[in-house]
């Protein structure tokens, strides 16, 4: 399906004009809800075809700017693959209805079909387990294909033994 019905017809062959429809029969212009995006579309915007073929520059695992993030993470966190930068992530306490929860704030790519996140908690920083449920308490879209999201543990601080939270982001192209 087409992400945006305003895209000129002669751009239809550009990968970035297209996303896969999540629902069968999705129609043009249902941006924000009805499409999924993929690493390949981002890769085409960021790199020339010669660069995409170069394992030092444009592949998912390449890290041409030498920061902490290979290209798939630059894509996941909405970073610049050519400039050393820093992902937005912080572990924090989340208050909701006067109750406090262990949580995390992270900026991630929206609608990515090839990314998954999971919150993990730990009591000692050594052994981690996936949180069974992670309510999303805040979602701020940035209009650039990324959103800032706040997630929290299901059980409030005080009844939970967890002291640390992290997010595991996985990429399955
Ligand atoms: Ca990088
Ligand atoms: Ca970077």
Instruction: Say which ligand is closest to the CA of 72.
Output: 1
- pLDDT over 50 (residue 136): yes
pLDDT at residue 141, rounded to an integer: 94
11 C-alpha vs ligand 1 centroid, how far in Å?
A: 28
44 pLDDT more than 90? yes
pLDDT of residue 43: 97
pLDDT, residue 33, reads 53
What secondary structure letter does DSSP report for 63?
-
Contact yes or no for 78/145 (Cβ under 8 A): yes
Choose among 113, 49, 44: nearest CA to 76. 113
The span from the CA of 123 to the CA of 127, in Å, is 7
pLDDT value, residue 21: 45
Distance of CA 44 from the midpoint of ligand 2 (Å) = 16
Structural domains for the chain: 9-76 (no CATH), 89-171 (2.60.40)
* Mean pLDDT of the residues in the chain: 83
**pLDDT over threshold 50, residue 15:** no
Tokens at residue 49, please?
A: 């075809």
* Residue entry with tokens 């902490």: 68
26 pLDDT above the threshold of 60? no
Is 90 exceeded by the pLDDT of residue 82? Answer: yes
- Sign of the Cα torsion 169, 78, 142, 114 reads negative
At residue 22, the pLDDT reads 45
Burial of 109 (0-12, 13-18, 19+ CB in 10 A): buried
Of all ligands present, the nearest one to the C-alpha of 62 is: 1
Cα 153–74–68 angle (5° rounding)? 85
* 82 CA → ligand 2 middle, Å: 6
State the pLDDT at residue 132.
84
Q: How far is the CA of 80 from the centre of ligand 1 (A)?
A: 8
* 39 C-alpha to ligand 1 centroid (Å): 14
């Amino acid at each position: 399906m087409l992400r945006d019905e305003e895209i000129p017809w002669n751009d239809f062959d550009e990968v970035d004009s297209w996303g896969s429809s999540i629902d069968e029969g999705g129609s043009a212009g249902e941006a924000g809800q009805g499409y999924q995006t993929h690493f390949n579309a981002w890769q085409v915007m960021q790199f020339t075809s010669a660069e995409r073929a170069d394992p030092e520059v444009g592949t998912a695992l390449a890290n041409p700017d030498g920061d902490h993030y290979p290209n798939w993470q630059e894509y996941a966190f909405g970073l610049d693959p050519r400039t050393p930068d820093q992902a937005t992530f912080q572990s924090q306490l989340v208050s909701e209805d006067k109750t406090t929860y262990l949580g995390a704030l992270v900026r991630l790519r929206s609608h990515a079909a090839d990314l998954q996140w999971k919150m993990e908690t730990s009591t000692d920083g050594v052994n981690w387990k996936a949180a069974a449920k992670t309510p999303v308490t805040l979602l701020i879209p940035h209009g650039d294909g990324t959103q800032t999201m706040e997630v929290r543990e299901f059980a409030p601080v005080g009844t939970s033994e967890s002291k640390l939270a992290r997010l595991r982001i996985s990429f399955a192209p």
